[in-house]
Amino acid sequence: MKSLSFFLLLILTSCSGPELRKDVEQVPYQTSGLEQYFLPELPAWANGSASGQCFKKHSFQYLDLGKLGKTYDLKYPELIELQAQYNDRLESYFRSTTMRFVKPVEEAAFFSNSLESVRGGVRTLKLPASANKVDVIWLDRYMALNQVNEIKKMNELGRFDQRVPILFSTCLSRQDLNQWLIENGLEDVGFYSVTAEWLSPFAADLELKSGLQIEIKKLLAPMVNVRFVSPSEILLPTEIVL
């Protein structure tokens, strides 16, 4: 009797197998639904900065700030912060695994956590309330010209005691920059940073522009005096709007 039951079960399973496989094959690939907010990945040849003379070590996921702003009622500073935090989470993930892609469920979690963080008031770039003078230092250019020692001299002379220093890089990520600071013995200076995750083809009015940029004054309080510092006073990066 047990043998008969076994064979009946085997026959039923065999008959239903192809239909079950067919049903599985017909199930569409499930995405996180966030693709509508993702801009196409930059080609390798465009993943750098001509004025900064540098190339990015890895790609960044740039977001459609116009669409995100309408959907979640966010302003330019919040949207830029959202993109920066999302990319930072992606980089942390890729640094911790050999995987070269993100599953939809992880993608959704990174985005949701970043969104809630921004809505909760968490800011990667948060200057002291007393800060009213800021130096934005074009790190890429100092590195390209092998003049990093000039930044070290500024620190030794106490320049950053009077003005808050923000290191600006169009190619390094925040984590790349933190590693660079350690390698150069500058991790205790107290640098703030605006890195590649902060760039966007959208301007502060959320209109699409022709290239990546950041309107840095829009991220700071209106009374803050911003001075741009580079080894060449003539050349300015195309990616920054003061």
Listed as ranges, residues in the chain with pLDDT below 70 are 1-32, 233-234
Question: What is the C-alpha to C-alpha distance for residues 209 and 200, in angstroms, rounded to an integer?
Answer: 9
Please tell me the predicted confidence (pLDDT) of residue 102. Answer: 87
CA 128 and chain centroid, separation = 23
Tokens matching residue 132: 């009213």
Is 71 a member of any domain? no
Question: What is the C-alpha to C-alpha distance for residues 53 and 206, in angstroms, rounded to an integer?
Answer: 27
Please tell me the predicted confidence (pLDDT) of residue 234. Answer: 60
Alpha-carbon Rg for the chain, nearest whole angstrom, is 24
Question: What is the C-alpha to C-alpha distance for residues 215 and 218, in angstroms, rounded to an integer?
Answer: 6
Question: What is the C-alpha to C-alpha distance for residues 107 and 111, in angstroms, rounded to an integer?
Answer: 6
Number of structural domains in the chain: 1
pTM: 0.83
Is 145 a member of any domain? yes
Is 97 a member of any domain? no
Sequence letter at residue 6: F
Is 206 a member of any domain? yes
Is 49 a member of any domain? no
Tokens matching residue 176: 């790349």
Question: What is the C-alpha to C-alpha distance for residues 28 and 118, in angstroms, rounded to an integer?
Answer: 33
Is 163 a member of any domain? yes
Strands 48-49 and 54-55: antiparallel
In which domain, by residue range, is 196 found? Answer: 133-241
C-beta of residue 79 within 8 angstroms of C-beta of residue 63: yes
Is 120 a member of any domain? no
Please tell me the predicted confidence (pLDDT) of residue 133. Answer: 95
Is 236 a member of any domain? yes
